[in-house]
Amino acid sequence: AVDADGSPVTVSLSGDSRRNVIVWMDHRAVNQAERINSFRSPVLQYCGGALSPEMQPPK
């Protein structure tokens, strides 16, 4: 949600705006995600076999 100036506003029920922003569809970490996935670590099975750039670890 954004206000009239385009600044983000909280959507929490408490009105607390000090929380971290949830970033979705941010693909700036494509190269990092590809590198992590290239190792084919068994740990990746916990998240469907691969990380996507939207996830936190590549960022």
> Distance between CA 43 and CA 46 in Å, rounded?
6
- Give the closest residue to 30 by CA, choosing from 5, 50, 47: 50
Give this prediction's pTM.
Answer: 0.58
Taking only the tens of pLDDT, the chain with its 59 residues reads 788 998 888 877 888 877 666 666 788 899 999 999 999 999 999 999 999 998 888 87
CA distance 47 to 33: 13
pLDDT for 19 equals: 66
